Copies of this chain bind each other. A is one copy, B any other.
Amino acid sequence: MRTVFLLATALLLWGAAVCVAAAPSGEAQVEHDFDTQIHPSDLRDWMKLLASEPNHVGSPHNKANANQILSWFKEWGWDAHIERFWVLYPTPRSETFELAGSQPFKAMLQEPPIPGDTSATATQPALPAYVEYQGDGEVTAPLLYVNYGMQDDYKTLQRLGISAKGTIVIARYGGGWRGLKPKLAYQHGALGCVIYSDPGNDGYAVDKTYPAGPMRPPHGIQRGSVSDISLYPGDPLTPGVAATENAKRLKISAAPTILKIPTLPISYADAQVFLAALGGPVAPPSWRGSLPITYHVGPGGAAGHLKVSSDWGLKEIDDVIAIMKGSRWPDQWVVRGNHHDAWVFGASDPLSGQVALLAEAKAIGALTKAGWRPKRTLVYASWDAEEPMLLGSTEWTEAHAVELRSKAVVYINSDTNGRGFLAAAGSHDFQHLVNRVAADVVDPETGVSIGERLRAHMRIAALEPDAKEEVKSEAKVAAEPASDFPIEALGSGSDFSSFIDHLGVPSLDLAFGEEGDSRGVYHSAYDTFEHHSRFVDPGFVYDALLAKTIGRVVLRVADTDIPVQQAGGFAEHVSDYLEQVEKLADDERDRAETQAKLLRDRAFQLAADPTKSSGLPSPLGRVPHLEFASLENAVDRLERSAKAYDEALAKNGADLPGTRLGQLQSLMLTLDQTLAPESGLPGRPWYKNLLYAPGSFTGYEAKTLPGVREAIEDHRWSDADRYTKFTAAALDKYSDRLDQAAAVLNQQ
């Protein structure tokens, strides 16, 4: 603890001692002056204010926060306004989940206040626990425990000879995105869905519970959206277009992203009573959580009564947009965003990232007051309504799609932040930029750069006995100081989605974390200022560090004359993805052949315990060999083109004459959009990016080469063949563009 506080104090003193006088110039000077404007105490004060009352969509405090943020931007010299949309945002009217029959037990569905915490001092009402865009209804039915409620869990149920039909399923949080739980439950015939937080994942099994420690207390509840993002995020009623006041809207009953069955989140204190009442077979080992009970699957033993009724009205949402016009290339935009709405108080999620964004905005304002101007235009966005499913950012990008496609150089996102290691994800042609910035920012706990610390973290993680191959191969790269450390691919779950997935605008998502841990209060009423300051980022050191880190990314993209992308890292990742996808096809073939033999030999029946119910798996069918040559050729070419471009940039990038620089910039600004042709992904055309997408059956987690990879996973063979070619064509366009850019660089 000592290290942290001493360094935090040092930073405060350092910040206070410096005062900007003349217009800074030169990257190092600008960044140094920027840093002197970042004060952890500012971030602390802002968070305390913004997180003092419930600030969910539609709440008075959320609107007050938007206005407060607007006035700060203006005060700091930004050209700021609120851009408003009108979105569907149902809120609970009445809710019940109880044991049916003779045993009377009702789930609490509210989180009791904790003394000394904002949950006890706030004066405005919090909503009861709910999940957004579930389907209202009332049902009494047998209860069934479905583990995480993911695809594999239903396969396991089938092997147990159990159907979810006509049941209310109880799923634990984790294993995949929450919204898939009620969606898959419905697809398997369930009538209702209840989701609880098992203490094994974020409760007492992990650490002491709040307020004694950071983890989820027995009555803590995780809220969240269950809108079907596999189709599209944003307002369910206005897919693909902005939810302006007079936009054409779908009928609620026709909105495909609203789920069909009543769904509620509950606490583990409550879940234990329902789970303990279940009969049926004992849950398989991997299904067991950390409650002190024997987990049974059901059905039988207990029935539940579930009722949800909501107010289905439209709500106003307020995106705060602040512009700092570029001095030289005002039509090249660096877009930076973080949302301000939360589920209850939202100190860590999203205000820890929001206050970093505000600190950047204040520091940039100070730089401009001292005479500096960014060469490119900065667009800072404080999004509303991210929590219900990225509504503020999605409606805004849909409203400004044309302009963004022609102007946005990159979108840089943040969200929850905490003490610890850099976590970087995004478009891989920006990986090198992230590495350069990470090499220049000092970690306050260790005194080395955040890049060096992250490399150490990646390498040590690979020593864990259960480390995955991916982690091990990342560690190998991280061990080579001459190589860029790898950044992750983006899926969904925060406001970058419409930029990268829908528009093809390259995006980055940056955060610190792992040491300071807010998962125990995630989406609960206990994600408060007190929790964040005690357990997630004491001293606001890493929230301030996020501002310094992202600030550098913003400033370098804004002010570097030549494009910041490098193609080599991107090409390497794409080559890895292709290898993975080819291996996946081979593994699927082996799996199908093994299963066919097992079925033929009646091995499932012979290995089953006849005293227990069991069932056969669905036959996997024959897995054909796929035509990968077009994609292999495209990746080979990409590797060549990337190498040629990077070499040309290194050789001739400096001192490029103005016309050629303009040509180069224009070629590279829209480079990543070649990966997102209009056609989109199979069955979900809103998602256009053929390199990166959230998984249809993972939710937030990324699937790379998604058109091909998911087709193989789902055994859609004609889609696999089609998307191999589509993806190859997109990569060829990307390579074309690189070749043109290299030609501009190499002109004599």
Contacts and interface: CB of A to CB of B under 8 A. Distances in A.
Interface of A: 1, 3-4, 199, 204-209, 213, 215, 282, 285-286, 288, 290-295, 420, 445-446, 448, 452-453, 455-457, 459-461, 463, 465, 479, 515, 594, 597-598, 601-607, 609-611
- Between A455, A479, A606, the greatest number of chain B beta carbons within 10 A of the residue's beta carbon is seen for A606
A598 B460 contact: yes
Contacts of A448: 606
Contact of A445 (B461, B515, B610): B610
A453 B606 CA distance: 6
Contacts of A282: 206-208
B460 A3 contact: no
What 7 pairs between A and B have smallest CB-CB spacing? A456-B606, A456-B603, A292-B292, A460-B607, A456-B607, A3-B610, A457-B607
Nearest to A457: B607
A456 B610 contact: no
Contacts of A479: 597, 601
Contact of A459 (B209, B446, B457, B598): B598
Given A4-B611, A206-B285, 14 more contacts: A3-B610, A3-B611, A199-B292, A204-B293, A207-B282, A207-B294, A291-B292, A445-B610, A453-B606, A453-B607, A459-B607, A463-B594, A463-B598, A515-B609
B601 A456 contact: yes
Nearest to A215: B294
A610 B601 CA distance: 57
A646 B593 CA distance: 33
A602 B447 CA distance: 12
A151 to B, nearest CB: 13
A464 to B, nearest CB: 9
A294 B208 contact: yes
15 contacts: A4-B611, A204-B294, A446-B606, A446-B610, A455-B603, A456-B602, A457-B606, A460-B598, A460-B604, A461-B607, A463-B594, A463-B598, A479-B597, A479-B601, A515-B609
A465 B151 CA distance: 14
Contacts of A602: 456
A207 B208 CA distance: 27
A4 B292 contact: no
Contacts of A603: 455-456, 459-460
A208 B459 CA distance: 42
Contacts of A209: 294
B1 A605 contact: no
Given A598-B459, A602-B456, A205 B610 contact: no
A455 B598 CA distance: 11
A549 to B, nearest CB: 17
Nearest to A209: B294
- Between A4, A288, A515, A610, the greatest number of chain B beta carbons within 10 A of the residue's beta carbon is seen for A610
Contacts of A285: 206
B460 A288 contact: no
A286 B293 CA distance: 20
